[in-house]
């Protein structure tokens, strides 16, 4: 009964585009995205930082890795293919769960390319649904006493907008799944790119149905909700009838040095016991000040925490 399942959580890798958009792929949003990448993002998001993170992650030997979106920048076919290759270095599809971010499902044409290319990393273990050229959401993966529930909050948006939405269909199914998993005694871990609760992101880049999603979580419960998108560490607690959710965001996995509100690369390890009453231990590992490796910077017991 003493088995502990360890999930690592990283996000917002923003891998460099291997090539510029083709004429067929080009539109106003991608043109602005290219400018944004070269002038604002490229200096901060470095491949070396991500390589150091993955080396440290491998040494920690987690049982599973959660990647909460924004693997790429412009949602191009070439990026999505490169990111699929990168994912194979993170681990095999059975050991890595991915949900898409707003930069993965960025704009048309090609908004669904990542869903097809990464579908094995978003496939549910118990789902009978065929993934015909794409993944179905929410997906559920049962991993021993842990259940991962993946949501898709990404949709094509106009220029300068990075909002998300999971919609009524996913919310309704999520409610049913959370109840079912609760009856099965699973520790429920929900993955979503956008911060899932109201007030956690700027209006232009927030989840549009955060109020409704918070309501589902408040009624049906999930032990852990992991997100990205803000490129900094965040932590909020949410009470549900039989317990308390820890809603935790991680910084980008590729930023070596803080700039603006965005903090240096870090990832979290969650040590999850089979007994849901036991707190989940969260260990944070961050890039060192000299940017030559990662080190542990904190260890907390979730579930018994007062709001941070």
d(Cα 214, Cα 221) in Å, to the nearest integer? 10
In the bound complex, what is the minimum distance in angstroms from residue 91's beta carbon to Fe ion? 21
Nearer to Fe ion, 143 or 213 (CB): 213
How long, in residues, is the chain? Answer: 308
Looking at the Cβ atoms of 54 and 143, the one nearer to Fe ion is 54
- Contact between 79 and Fe ion by CB under 5 A: the answer reads no
Kindly identify the residues of this chain, within the stretch 8-37, that bind Fe ion according to CB under 5 A. Answer: 12
Minimum distance between the CB of residue 144 and Fe ion, rounded to whole angstroms?
30
x/- binding map, residues 218-247, to Fe ion, per CB under 5 A?
-----------x------------------
Q: Is 196 in the site for Fe ion (CB under 5 A)?
A: no
Q: What is the 3-state secondary structure of the chain?
A: CCCEEEEEEECCCCCCCCCCCCCCCCCHHHHHHHHHHHHHHCCCECHHHHHHHHHHHHHHCCCEEEECCCCCCCCCHHHHHHHHHHHHHHCCHHHEEECCCCCCCCCCCCCCHHHHHCHHHHCCCCCCCCCCCCCCCCEEEEECCEEEEECCCCCCCCCCCCCECCHHHHHHHHHHHHHHHHHCCCEEEEECCCCCCCCCCCHHHCECCHHHHHHHHHHHCCCEEEECCCCCCEEEEEEECCEEEEEEECCCCCECCCECCECCCEEEEEEEECCCCCCEEEEEEEECCCCCCEEEEEEEEECCCCCC
| 44 vs 64 by CB, closer to Fe ion | 44
CB of 162 to Fe ion, least distance (A): 6
Q: CB of 106: closest distance to Fe ion in angstroms?
A: 10
Supply the minimum distance, in Å, between the C-beta of residue 193 and Fe ion.
Answer: 6
Least Å distance, CB 268 to Fe ion, is 16
Q: What is the largest CA-CA distance in the chain?
A: 58
CA 228 to chain centre: 5
Binding part of the chain for Fe ion, among 94-102, 125-133, 175-183, 218-226 by CB under 5 A, reads 94-102
Residue 232 or 271 having the CB closest to Fe ion = 232
**How big is the site for Fe ion, counted in residues (CB under 5 A)?**
5
102 touches Fe ion (CB under 5 A): yes
* Closest to Fe ion by CB, 163 or 294: 163
Residues in contact with Fe ion, shown as a per-residue x/- string from 52 to 71 under the rule CB under 5 A: ------------------x-
Q: Which is nearer to Fe ion, 188 or 227 (CB)?
A: 227
Is the CB of residue 249 less than 8 Å from the CB of residue 230?
yes
Of 262 and 278, nearer to Fe ion (C-beta) is: 262
Please provide the distance, in angstroms rounded to a whole number, between the alpha carbons at the two ends of the chain: 31
CB of 192 to Fe ion, least distance (A): 11
Among 101, 138, 196, 221, binds Fe ion (CB under 5 A): 101
**145 or 229, CB closer to Fe ion?**
229
Q: Does 91 bind Fe ion (CB under 5 A)?
A: no
Which tokens belong to 71? 């693997």
* Contacts with Fe ion, residue ranges (CB under 5 A): 12, 70, 101-102, 229
């Amino acid at each position: 009964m003493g088995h502990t399942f360890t999930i690592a959580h990283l996000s917002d890798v923003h891998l460099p585009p291997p090539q510029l958009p083709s004429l067929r792929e080009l539109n106003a949003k991608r043109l602005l995205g290219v400018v944004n990448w070269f002038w604002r993002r490229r200096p901060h998001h470095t491949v070396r930082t991500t390589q150091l993170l993955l080396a440290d992650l491998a040494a920690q030997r987690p049982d599973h890795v959660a990647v909460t979106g924004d693997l790429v920048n412009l949602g191009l076919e070439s990026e999505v293919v490169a990111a699929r290759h990168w994912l194979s270095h993170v681990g095999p599809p059975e050991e890595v769960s991915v949900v898409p971010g707003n930069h993965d499902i960025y704009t048309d044409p090609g908004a669904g390319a990542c869903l097809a290319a990464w579908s094995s990393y978003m496939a549910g273990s118990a789902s009978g649904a065929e993934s015909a050229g794409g993944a179905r959401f929410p997906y559920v993966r049962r991993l021993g006493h842990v259940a991962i529930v993946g949501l898709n909050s990404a949709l094509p948006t106009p220029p300068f907008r990075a909002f998300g939405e999971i919609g009524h269909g996913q919310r309704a199914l999520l409610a049913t799944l959370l109840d079912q998993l609760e009856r099965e005694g699973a520790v429920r871990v929900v993955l979503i790119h956008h911060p899932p609760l109201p007030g956690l992101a700027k209006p232009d880049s927030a989840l549009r149905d955060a109020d409704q999603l918070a309501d589902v979580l408040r009624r049906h419960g999930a032990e852990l909700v992991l997100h990205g998108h803000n490129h900094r560490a965040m932590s909020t607690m949410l009470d549900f009838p039989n317990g308390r959710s820890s809603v935790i965001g991680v910084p980008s996995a590729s930023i070596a040095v803080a700039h603006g509100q965005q903090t240096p690369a870090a990832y979290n390890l969650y040590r999850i016991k089979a007994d849901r009453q036991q707190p989940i231990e969260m260990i944070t590992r961050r890039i060192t000040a000299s940017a030559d490796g990662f080190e542990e910077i904190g260890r907390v017991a979730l579930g018994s925490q007062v709001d941070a």
